[in-house]
């Protein structure tokens, strides 16, 4: 009987250990780094033909740019299919030799 009780204790301990390991792994999961580099804005106009999009954007820290409404270029027109005028979006912009380009854009939920 004593052996059985010990076995149960061991089982309970390892279950508790597995649980705490599980939650530790979960809380240690890194937040997506990209989210901090993304700026927010609202789509004003989508010009698929010319691969351009007009955004009213908030501050873009990576470009040291204050909030404004402006036109960005995209390399791939397909990126513009995900968004429509009026959508609130999160996007990543870069300065490509003086041309401001959007490398990633996604509607906010």
Return residues touching Cu ion (CB under 5 A): 65, 68, 70
Comparing every residue's Cβ against Cu ion, the nearest one is: 70
N-to-C CA span, the chain = 58
Which residues, in sequence order, are CB contacts of 15 under 8 Å at separation 6+? none
Nearer to Cu ion, 12 or 67 (CB): 67
CA–CA separation, 26 and 80 (whole Å): 34
CB of 67 to Cu ion, least distance (A): 8
Nearer to Cu ion, 57 or 79 (CB): 57
CB of 71 to Cu ion, least distance (A): 9
Does residue 52 contact residue 43 with C-beta atoms inside 8 Å? Answer: no
CB of 65 to Cu ion, least distance (A): 4
């Amino acid at each position: 009987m004593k052996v059985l009780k010990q076995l149960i204790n061991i089982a309970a301990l390892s279950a508790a250990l597995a649980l705490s390991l599980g939650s530790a792994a979960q809380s240690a999961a890194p937040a997506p780094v990209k989210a901090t580099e993304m700026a927010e804005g609202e789509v004003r106009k989508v010009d698929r033909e010319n691969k351009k999009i007009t955004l009213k954007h908030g501050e873009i820290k990576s470009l040291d740019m204050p909030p404004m409404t402006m036109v960005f270029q995209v390399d791939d027109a397909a990126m513009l299919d995900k968004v429509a005028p009026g959508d609130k979006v999160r996007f990543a912009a870069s300065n490509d030799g003086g041309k401001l380009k959007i490398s990633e854009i996604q509607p906010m939920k």
